[in-house]
A and B are shown apart, each in its own frame.
Chain A
Amino acid sequence: GAGVSQSPSNKVTEKGKDVELRCDPISGHTALYWYRQSLGQGLEFLIYFQGNSAPDKSGLPSDRFSAERTGGSVSTLTIQRTQQEDSAVYLCASSYPSAPGEQYFGPGTRLTVT
């Protein structure tokens, strides 16, 4: 079946603008994760959604970052007032809740803040 999809694949924005990144998880995967991959860094956990439970936002780096998951499916990561240090690849993953270590990743959104 279809894998995790993300849009856009690339986004260039000016410093100070807001951006929205979208993730469509695999159907049936109730767990959804956002990670950030910066040059030379590993993957940095941002936020986790599981079903209708309150999300785990412990990885969000600042209050400029927020995320929603509507209807238990599609998720949107929003970055307000973007800064140059926000430039990175943003990865979305989904999994069955019984297998949180077996995550299926999307292709990522490359964000460049100029």
Chain B
Amino acid sequence: AQRVTQPEKLLSVFKGAPVELKCNYSYSGSPELFWYVQYSRQRLQLLLRHISRESIKGFTADLNKGETSFHLKKPFAQEEDSAMYYCALSGANNLFFGTGTRLTVIP
């Protein structure tokens, strides 16, 4: 069965410190993984997808099939990164979301 696990509900880091939001998945096929972000009082939006191997707002995420992980990383956190982050796995007709990690960047 498809499942996405985000083990940390809350994560606090100081401004300028590195940040890593963990995501593990279980999927029998070839996974497509995404990170979505929800800033305060804004709607949920796509941050990045593993296929494009891009860096968005300084964030990157590498798919590790051996560890079934798709952790989101940024070398230097900024205050504007404070938000709720969801890891998602694409199924046949929908996305499977993790329970989310609330990131707080302390000034």
Contacts and interface: CB of A to CB of B under 8 A. Distances in A.
Main secondary structure of the interface of A (DSSP, over half): loop
A62 to B, nearest CB: 18
B49 to A, nearest CB: 6
Contact of A43 (B43, B91, B97): B97
A23 B90 CA distance: 22
Interface in B88-105: 88, 90-100
Interface stretch (A13-21, A71-79, A104-112): A104-112
Given A40-B99, A42-B4, A42-B86, A91 B93 contact: no
B82 to A, nearest CB: 19
A88 B97 CA distance: 16
A43 B6 CA distance: 13
Contacts of A105: 43-45
B32 interface: yes
Residue among B92, B97, B98, B99 with max Cβ neighbours from chain A (10 Å): B97
Contact of A103 (B9, B46, B91): B46
**Interface size class for chain A?**
20 to 34
Given A42-B86, A42-B99, A101-B88, A56 B44 contact: no
Contact of B49 (A3, A4, A41, A101): A101
B45 A48 contact: no
| Residue of B46, B86, B92 contacting most chain A CB atoms (<10 Å) | B46
B93 A48 contact: yes
11 contacts: A33-B94, A35-B97, A41-B99, A42-B6, A42-B100, A101-B95, A102-B46, A102-B49, A103-B95, A104-B46, A105-B44
Q: Which A-B residue pairs are the 3 nearest by beta carbons?
A: A101-B90, A42-B97, A43-B97
Interface of B: 4, 6, 9, 32, 34, 43-46, 49, 86, 88, 90-100
